Structure 1
Amino acid sequence: MTRLHLVRHGPTHAKTMVGWSDLPADLSDHAAIGRLETHLPSNAVVISSDLSRAADTASAIQGTRQRLPHHADLREINFGTWELRPFAEIEAEDPELCFAYWDNPGDVRPPDGESWNEVRARVDAVVDTLIADNSGRDLVVVAHFGVILTQIQRALDVDAQEAFSHRIDNLSVTEITRLEAGWSVGRINHRP
């Protein structure tokens, strides 16, 4: 049994599509960070995306926990040419593609970006490796909205559209356990 504590990074306050851009997190809410750090298992191993908003959040909640090197495959969705653009602008430019991407996630991709299925395959592979390398341990994975949703989809065995119905707030924890016989989902979007 390996428990995953999937933490969404601190807020960026961006009002645009933020995927692979390296925007900093606002970590000024010390009380929320303290509650999160206290909530997480003290013997867990911590890993994060290599983007600073996740890496800096991981540093803020690490405490005395063991830290693994950042991992690029834990990055957010690559939005391609949609990156750092407001949703309304993208929707006005190509409403059909925009609608298809969010309403029927799967193989549809933004120009020069990646599809939901590509994100899911990328994240599944790194999570499988982390579980194999840390069997029986608690893992704190500090990552992004899309990364967390891929694992909710996987653990609940639901389609992408249903996974997208879950809210994932900044500095929240989603708890998923890998058992020998499958997955167990605990709290989703828990705010300690």
Structure 2
Amino acid sequence: MEATKLYLVRHGETEWNAGGRFQGHSDVPLSNFGRQQAERLALSLKQTKIDAFYSSDLSRAMETAQIIVKEHGTQVNYLPDLREINFGVWEGLTYDQISQNYGNLSVQWRSNPLDTQIPHGEKLQDLAERCQRAINEIINQHAGENVLVASHGGVIRVIVANALGFDLNHFWKLRLDNVSLTVLEYYGQQKAILELFNDTCHLK
């Protein structure tokens, strides 16, 4: 069986990234620095054969994908299921602010995010289910092809953890930098091989 290769790209840096603020579903645009990061990745991938492009419908991921796709003369498909986790009332806050204002809940989130309900937000289980739905849809439509997916840190961590059979309660242990490149080869929906993780060589 020929592999479907997914090029998973975390979006470029935003002002909220730089300030350590949780973004979630908040539609925060790329900063000028984030756009420069995306341009560097676009140049690095210019000679890579990519058959289809997908993105979250949040602007920071959309713009990252749009910058990369310019080098390939095609269009980007947008999937809401590829959005970052909805952090509800935590969006716009820093890690320290969340720890101070939501002490017990923040501890519970760190130890058991799969089942922890963020007020007006999602559980990690919700994110995992819609991420897998999106990945299955992409694999079904592009069997044996190379597909670039521009998304978010939490989304890509969950996709990788699911592919490798990791306990999703430990997904935060996977470091994922802005405009990093992660590559997974899928042989159907059930078998995947991690080829590359959190590569940022194009930024050096």
Shorter chain as denominator, the TM-score bin is over 0.9
Q: Does residue 117 in structure 1 map to residue 125 in structure 2?
A: yes
Contact 2:9 2:151 in 1 (8 A): yes
| Aligned equivalents of 1:22, 1:176: Cα separation in 2 | 27
Find the partner of 1:24 among 5, 21, 29: 29
Q: CA RMSD in A?
A: 1.7
Once the two structures are superposed, residues 132-179 of structure 1 have per-residue CA deviations (whole angstroms, 9 ceiling, x without a partner) of 011111110000001101111111101013332111111111111111
Runs of 5+ in structure 2 lacking a partner?
A: none
Percentage of pairs with the same residue: 30
3-state DSSP class of the match of 1:175? strand
Match of 2:68 in 1: 61
Note the C-alpha offset of 1:35. 3.9
The one-letter amino acid paired with 2:126 is E
Aligned to 1:52: 59
Output one character per residue of 1:75-121: Cα deviation in whole Å (capped at 9) or x when no partner: 00100111111221111112111011122221102101001111000
How far, CA to CA, are the matches of 2:133 and 2:26 in structure 1? 22
Letter aligned with residue 26 of structure 2: S
Per-residue Cα deviation, 1:30-83 (whole angstroms, up to 9, x for no partner): 7623444337x3233111011110000001111225334211111001001111
* Segments of 4+ moved more than 6 angstroms: none
Of 8, 11, 14, the residue aligned with 1:12 is 14
Question: Bigger shift: 176-185 or 26-35?
Answer: 26-35
Q: Are the counterparts in 1 of residues 184 and 193 from structure 2 also a CA contact under 8 Å?
A: yes
Specify the code of the residue in structure 2 equivalent to 1:189. N
User: Aligned partners of 1:104, 1:3: CA distance in 2, in Å?
Assistant: 31
Residue 30 to residue 140, structure 1, CA distance change in 2 (3 Å): closer
Task: Report the counterpart of residue 185 of structure 1 in structure 2.
Answer: 194
Q: What's the TM-score once normalised by structure 1's chain length?
A: 0.92
* 1:175 corresponds to 2:183: yes
Higher helix share: 2
2:150 equivalent in structure 1:
142
1:128 to partner: Cα distance: 0.3
Separation (CA, whole Å) in 1 of partners of 2:88 and 2:45 = 33
**Normalized against structure 2, the TM-score is what?**
0.87
CA–CA separation in structure 1 for the residues paired with 2:122 and 2:42: 35
5+ residue gaps, structure 1: none
Listed as ranges, the matches of 1:65-80 within 5 Å are 66-80=74-88
Q: Provide the residue aligned with 2:139 in structure 1.
A: 131
Query: What do residues 4-34 of structure 1 show as CA deviations (whole Å, max 9, x unaligned)?
Result: 1100000003121101111111303476234
Cα distance in 2 for partners of 1:80, 1:139 equals 30
Q: Distance in 2 between matches of 1:69 and 1:33?
A: 19
**Closer, same or farther: CA 55–97 of 1 in aligned 2, 3 Å:** same
- Between the aligned partners of 1:29 and 1:140, the Cα distance in structure 2 is 16
